């Protein structure tokens, strides 16, 4: 991995702080005049805790730089969705090859949640589960699905209790009665792919994919 910028003391600056700094800049830019301020506030209920974990996770759980980077990428995708509201992200004008009546940006983020977040429980669990990769893989996928399902329940609860129009924007179902199931299924698929790659890499190297100092093995 490329050398990190040094602090005044000459020691490498912590990578999570650089990632958190970039996230803070993006957060500030996307907080400016969002499409729906109320929906933006609801969507960002997970952003601040996520940013704190981005900084503290490396020290508390010895997360690798790669895992921290994946978490940063997911939070960045989420912030774009919260700025526009998920059903209004103009990705179709950014990528003209994708067409159709439905805005699929929320599907992309749910898939990315499984793909980018699954390495975090996988890496955290290796400190307490040794020699049983199948159990660690199963629990990592279960954590992702549980979080994804919990978020769908949060969306449902918000839609039931807040202003109806705000609830519709927050849920972003766009008329699809199976929206929650499809979102969770995509998170599951993303976690399978991510954990599958990590498992294959660990078995190929006959050891954990990350060393205890957080760098790739």
* 3-state SS assignment for residue 128: coil
In a domain, 6, yes or no: no
Average pLDDT of the residues in 164-189:
74
In a domain, 4, yes or no: no
Lowest mean pLDDT among 7-11, 126-130, 153-157: 7-11
Looking at per-residue pLDDT, the higher value among 143 and 35 belongs to 143
Unique residue bearing structure tokens 């950014």: 94
What pLDDT is attached to residue 5? 42
Give the tokens for residue 70: 């994946």
Domains in the chain, number = 1
In a domain, 99, yes or no: yes
Contact between residue 144 and residue 217 where contact means Cβ atoms under 8 Å apart: no
Q: Give the domain extent around 62.
A: 15-205
- C-alpha span between 53 and 49 (Å, rounded): 6
Residue 97 has pLDDT above 80, yes or no: no
- C-alpha span between 115 and 186 (Å, rounded): 9
Q: What is the pTM of this model?
A: 0.57
């Amino acid at each position: 991995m490329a050398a990190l910028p040094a602090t005044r003391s000459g020691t490498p600056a912590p990578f999570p702080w650089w990632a958190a700094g970039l996230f803070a800049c993006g957060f500030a830019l996307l907080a400016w005049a969002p499409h729906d301020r109320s929906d933006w506030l609801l969507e960002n209920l997970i952003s601040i805790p996520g940013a704190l974990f981005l900084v503290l996770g490396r020290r508390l759980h010895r997360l690798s730089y790669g895992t921290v980077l994946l978490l940063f990428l997911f939070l960045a995708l989420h912030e774009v969705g919260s700025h526009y509201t998920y059903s209004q992200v103009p990705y179709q004008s950014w990528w003209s090859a994708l067409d159709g009546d439905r805005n699929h940006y929320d599907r992309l983020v749910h898939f990315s949640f499984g793909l980018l977040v699954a390495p975090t429980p996988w890496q955290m669990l290796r400190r307490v589960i040794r020699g049983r990769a199948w159990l660690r893989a199963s629990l990592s996928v279960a954590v992702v699905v549980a979080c994804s399902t919990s978020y769908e329940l949060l969306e449902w609860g918000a839609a039931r209790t807040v202003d109806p129009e705000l609830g519709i924007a927050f849920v972003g179902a766009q008329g699809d009665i199976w929206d929650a199931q499809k979102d969770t299924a995509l998170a599951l698929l993303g976690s399978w792919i991510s954990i599958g790659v990590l498992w294959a890499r660990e078995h190929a190297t006959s050891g954990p994919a990350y060393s205890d100092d957080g760098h790739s093995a």
